[in-house]
Structure 1
């Protein structure tokens, strides 16, 4: 992989040469969404990405619950490793669909209960450590755990149980309490995943609102509102990766000074899932972009906007997948840091392509910015 930094630079220069192509036809047709295409795009987003994504999430939480229970039943290094593998598989499934931060995800604190992040003041970490130190039995029952702080019942808490200080105790009977707490978290995650899926599968629920925009629809009064919501997923998703996933642990070079990095501020740093989760975030966004056929929302003479976004999606996914191992080691390595610089630059570029170029091409450009939350 020693050729990757030069490849990254080449891809970066190629990506930066695309805006002219993305602007094609900007004076040739009205900047409006292709309203006739919207219902089909929304339907594909639901049927071909959101529901299958949550179904996969539910499958992975079920497997994690099984692996966690097996660890408690027969504690060993091997069963601990299997539980850790199931955790990493779940992180991949979640990172693919966590971009859908709306509807059922916002109800009943489901999103925060599944993943409390960022934990800027280490509030969640302290709560999890206190539960483990005190042997708080109420944390081992999924019903009472659900009533505790969101920070003590989701992926972050489980990562600490499986990988944090003292986690080696899980390989023996001495880890019984810690293990049972992990099982309760797994069961809680499984329940939430099943709620996500059930809410989206209801025929007259949110999927009906997505598939039939119109005057009688409480969510989307017209196709433009529906298209705005869908494009917002991409803009906010890329913005989330840029500001909440990459920036906390590595800001790149600012004013000629290179950031030394903050590896313990990275999500999933203990389990080495930082970059795999970021790659999955981008893959989820790219898959949704393709399967929903976002290109069909554009005026015919602006279709190149989708092509340029697709190019940058492939670039950031490709580079994300080549940065592995402990995130601290990646920051300290010149070649990996060059990849992180490339990734940071192109994530910002992708945000502009979606927010300004795509949004502008469907009439959401003037005075409108998803990035500002408008």
Structure 2
């Protein structure tokens, strides 16, 4: 966590007071997509972010499977903590690439099998609790686990196994069944992560479609469609954080009344990974923005649009990293609540800069709103 919360907090204040430099681009003459620059941008997104991101994810799932197996073999407080640490590292890796919610992620329910969230009716919780209570042996086999509900086989289920009620038994032989269920989940996640990576690494698969938009391409008939898909990752990624990560547990002040908060609606609240995962979501988006060279899509007189967005990226990442510990404590603390307020405002500002300002500047703004899902 950042040792200088005041710096990040100051960034939030500064970001909100920035002049709307991005609006300069949208106020200029009508734009068209710089189609010549698109293939290189798409190729960099694949080669320098997506594939390395999924490779890192695969490494983390393998490490988790290994530490989970070691926990079952030699249960102890230390081995349990090792498995929990590996879980947190996996959450970081996943949160970085979960913004790529397309292509292989949508096939075979891979995304939902990896992370079922939001779980508004506590479907997953009830199913995991039932498996543990009944000691359902079919949940300890990867093949049969894959056929169960998506809510019982991903990160949410594993978090409950490692951190939920009764998880202390993992430190001794009493947790034998619970541990084997956890191993099956970890192995299932490893399988899915390897599938993500394999699909993107196929030379004639989705990466080829991304790198060569044009007639006959099954994904993108032209560079404008490709640019639209890529910008959509940023817009929908920020929108996801705003609506599915922040809003469920903290709405700030509503009609003049401070929201008491709903900490148990926050993602990863049991493992205290709520804010680290949000910071990783933003960090992934910022990294993709940089390595894909999104600036190159902008006209020369609108390059300030990218600088403005990057500044707000730094702000939201910095603020997220200063809010640590249990999310319930953060909501109860006035200073942390103030940070959450500014994070919420900056997230909305970033969404607007990407959706309206950047999209408009590169020729995707007229009558088009990613945020509305058009």
- TM-score for the superposition, normalised by structure 2: 0.97
CA distance in 2, matches of 1:362, 1:191: 38
TM-aligned CA deviation for residue 18 of structure 1: 3.1
Distance 1:216 1:323, change over 3 A: same
Cα distance per residue 1:266-302 (max 9 Å; x no partner): 0000000000000000000000000001111111111
Paired residue secondary structure (1:36):
coil
Distance 1:134 1:26, change over 3 A: closer
TM-aligned CA deviation for residue 14 of structure 1: 2.3
- Residue 135 of structure 2 corresponds to which residue in structure 1? 135
CA distance in 2, matches of 1:48, 1:17: 33
The answer to whether the Cα contact below 8 Å between 2:316 and 2:346 also exists between their aligned partners in 1 is yes
CA distance in 2, matches of 1:46, 1:368: 25
> Is 2:248 the partner of 1:240?
no
- Residue 364 of structure 2 corresponds to which residue in structure 1? 364
TM-aligned CA deviation for residue 20 of structure 1: 3.1
> Is 2:243 the partner of 1:276?
no
Q: What are the ranges of 5 or more consecutive residues in structure 1 without an aligned counterpart?
A: none
CA distance in 1, matches of 2:215, 2:232: 21
CA distance in 2, matches of 1:160, 1:139: 14
- TM-score for the superposition, normalised by structure 1: 0.97
Paired residue secondary structure (1:20):
coil
CA distance in 1, matches of 2:294, 2:185: 37
Cα distance per residue 1:118-175 (max 9 Å; x no partner): 0000011000000000000000000000000000000000000000000000000110
The answer to whether the Cα contact below 8 Å between 1:32 and 1:299 also exists between their aligned partners in 2 is no
CA distance in 2, matches of 1:96, 1:3: 23
Distance 1:210 1:338, change over 3 A: same
Q: What are the ranges of 5 or more consecutive residues in structure 2 without an aligned counterpart?
A: none
TM-aligned CA deviation for residue 17 of structure 1: 3.4
- Residue 18 of structure 2 corresponds to which residue in structure 1? 18
CA distance in 1, matches of 2:28, 2:145: 58
**1:315-326 mapped onto 2 (5 Å cutoff):** 315-326=315-326
CA distance in 2, matches of 1:248, 1:63: 31
TM-aligned CA deviation for residue 33 of structure 1: 1.8
How many pairs are equivalent?
373
Cα distance per residue 1:18-50 (max 9 Å; x no partner): 343222354544312211110000000000000
> Is 2:180 the partner of 1:205?
no
> Is 2:307 the partner of 1:304?
no
CA distance in 1, matches of 2:294, 2:318: 21
CA distance in 2, matches of 1:2, 1:284: 21
Distance 1:213 1:12, change over 3 A: same
Runs (4+) off by over 4 Å: 25-29
